[in-house]
Amino acid sequence: MDYENKLVLAPMVRVGALPFRMLAAEYGADITYGEEIIDHKMLKCERVVNDYLGTTDFVEKGTGGVVFRTCPEERDRVVFQMGTSCAARALATAQLVCKDVAAIDINMGCPKSFSISGGMGAALLSKPELIDDILTTLIRNLDVPVTCKIRLLKSPQDTVELARRIEKTGVSALAVHGRKVADRPKDAAKWSEIADVVAALSIPVIANGDVFDYEDFGRIKKATGAASVMVARGAMWNASIFCSKGKLPWEEIKREYVRKSILWDNDVKSTKQTIKELIMHHSCLEFPEGKAVNKCETVADLGKLYGEEEYCIAVQESRS
């Protein structure tokens, strides 16, 4: 997998499902990460070929819930991001999904309590031996690229030392979010500290933090020297950020997202969460639209709300 000069969709919880990844790719994203999935959860799944949708689903045994859904169209660009604190579980999870994705990524940057309390995400940043174990185990046993995503440590020197250690495991690329664990989204991303990592490594570094417009891709790349650039909130608020011609109106993005959610039969909770993120940024959930979204119980209800009822019927008829 080529990591040079790529525009990358970051992993986002409850947002990075198949419809949103496909939407971002349509507007120009070269690499699309799925949302972080915990190894324990994935190991409860079985791989199911969904002929009805044309997808490959990883379905939780017992509940029948789809934990991860992908399709052949994104095979060469989708990255499966995993939350883990155990090399053996990480490998078992990766082996389950590796034939259907372009790369495996280990999340070492999530600051959320659910991740840290389980020894995952940013909790790994203080456990370099465990990082070595997880990454080397995956790299020895998988044929797909293995990468990881980290945050900044207490000092630039600490971050560089960890990055060098990660590089020695043989990872194909390293994504660096330009904030520390204690930083909040309102705090400015420290691009200069990402640049320190870039200067110290020979593998591709993917810079992440404070990318809100297409022009920011060039700005952060110039400031850091990174091989590629990753965007999270900027894409969540308008997936057409990847389009060099400029962003499209968010109302248009929203409707196209609903259409893709209908097409790929996305989970209604996931779909509603993504729409609400858009509304919260551009409008207000207390307005009639937000209240109407909350009342929707199915993706078809959302289609009706946004004037896509005929599209929903056409999709159903094409598969009957």
Burial of 151-173, coded b for 16+ CB within 10 Å and e otherwise, reads: bbbeebeebbebbeebbebebbb
Query: Is the distance from CB of 104 to CB of 147 less than 8 angstroms?
Result: yes
301/109 Cα distance (integer angstroms): 36
204/128 Cα distance (integer angstroms): 20
Catalytic site includes residue 71 = no
The three state secondary structure string of 151-202 is EECCCHHHHHHHHHHHHHCCCCEEEEEEEECCCCCCCCCCHHHHHHHHHHCC
13/36 Cα distance (integer angstroms): 6
Name the active-site residue from 110, 148, 296, 312: 110
Sheet holding 55-60, edge to edge: 45-50, 55-60, 66-70
Q: Which residues contact 21 (CB under 8 A, 6 or more apart)?
A: 9, 29, 32, 33, 34, 74, 78
Active site residues: 110
